[in-house]
Amino acid sequence: MKISEIGEFGLIRNIQQNFSRKILSTLIGIGDDAAAVMVSSSKVLLATTDLLLEGVHFDLSYSDFYSLGWKSAAVNLSDIAAMGGIPRFCLTSLGLPSNIKVEQVNEFYRGFGAIAGKHGLGLVGGDTCGSQKGMVISVTILGEVEKSRVLTRSGARPGDSIFTTGTLGDSAAGMEILRSKKSKVKSKKKKARSQESRVMSLIQKHLRPTPRVDEGRKIALSGCASAMIDISDGLSSDLGHICEQSGVGAEVYADKIPISTELKQHSGGLKNTVLHYALAGGEDYELLFTAPEMKLRKLSGLKMQATEIGKIIKGKAVHLVDGSGNMRCLSPLGYDHFRPHR
Ligand code: ADP
Ligand code: MG
């Protein structure tokens, strides 16, 4: 059977089923944003790893090494944030083609260090190899969380409200702008300064995302959330993961989805609708979480940018509801590594 027949998530399920040896101290194994293992009766060690491949996850013709280092740390920090955890240590492994310069590796670690420093993350090891084809980056982060505070994808219940931090779609729009800039001969006409800053803001969201570590921690400590995930594959896919693992359905109200002013104002210059970037785009690294009604007042007291975008419902269906009340099925639209052209 070809891996494209079952897709990325089918393959992960397959690995999970074939490797079902259970270890007692594993609180959360394959299937969430990070693994959680018990290291004492109250403390949980979180572990998450991500692989970034040149030509798949990044393009050195438009990403500088500083941003690449930043993003490599950010995507992993985001998974620790999604569990409500505190990042502690990391390991970085690099596969480097022979044309990469020492200065470029230093720039990578300057970017990596800038965001690692913000979160008190220490680099404690890794591995370095030559690569025959393209640059390869693997980052593993270890974090911790109290056993009573850990948040998973499986706790959403019917009646819970669905929230997202920040705004959605900017990163995907930024990537489209970067890709089109690459293929276009630069226009000689000077763009208006306001348009330039809008474009820069979208590009920045793609190249140097902000993981919501502080927000994740606040949400976890407050005890308000029933489930949480970070939005790495796009709202439609990541909400799908919460629903599948919680055994529930959802209704998302299209006109409640938070869209940045920059994305709205730049919508005319993009290939798709703003809603498409928000639902399918991915790489937002915002937190998507659910909260029961009795916690909503406490949640609003947390004073963070979180927008209610829908409700968890009974059943399995995930719907998108437009401003006129029309419903359509919201299937996962995010990227699947083995079915990229779905
Ligand atoms: P995220 O987007 O949050 O990084 P992924 O979709 O990459 O999560 O992975 C989902 C889950 O599957 C995670 O628990 C991850 O650790 C696990 N996983 C992915 N690939 C493998 C693999 N090859 N072996 C074991 N577990 C895997
Ligand atoms: Mg994740």
Q: What is the pLDDT along the chain (342 residues), one digit of tens a residue?
A: 999 999 998 999 999 888 877 788 999 999 999 999 999 988 999 999 999 999 999 999 999 999 999 999 999 999 999 999 999 999 999 999 999 999 999 999 999 999 999 999 999 999 999 999 999 999 999 999 999 999 999 999 999 999 999 999 999 999 999 999 765 544 445 667 777 888 999 999 999 999 999 999 999 999 999 999 999 999 999 999 999 999 999 999 999 999 999 999 999 999 999 999 999 989 999 999 999 999 999 999 998 999 999 999 999 999 999 999 999 999 888 777 887 755
Q: For ligand 1, is residue 232 a contact (CB within 6 Å)?
A: yes
Q: For ligand 1, is residue 33 a contact (CB within 6 Å)?
A: yes
Rounded distance from Cα 33 to ligand 2 centre (Å): 4
Rounded to whole angstroms, how far apart are CA atoms 282 and 171?
7
Rounded distance from Cα 181 to ligand 1 centre (Å): 32
**Residues that place a CB less than 5 A from ion ligand 2:** 33, 79, 230, 232
Handedness of CA 286, 255, 269, 237 (dihedral sign): positive
Rounded to whole angstroms, how far apart are CA atoms 57 and 68?
10
CB 137 within 8 A of CB 93: yes
199 Cβ contact list (under 8 Å, min separation 6) = 177, 191, 266
Q: For ligand 1, is residue 32 a contact (CB within 6 Å)?
A: yes
Relative to the CA of 79, which ligand 1 atom is closest?
A: 3
Q: For ligand 1, is residue 8 a contact (CB within 6 Å)?
A: no
Relative to the CA of 32, which ligand 1 atom is closest?
A: 14
CB 224 within 8 A of CB 299: yes
* Proximal ligand: closest to the CA of 233: 1
Read off the pTM: 0.94
Which ranges of 223-306 would DSSP assign to H, the alpha helix? Answer: 235-246, 261-265, 274-280, 296-300
Rounded to whole angstroms, how far apart are CA atoms 311 and 157?
10
CB 273 within 8 A of CB 267: yes
Amino acid, res. 175: M
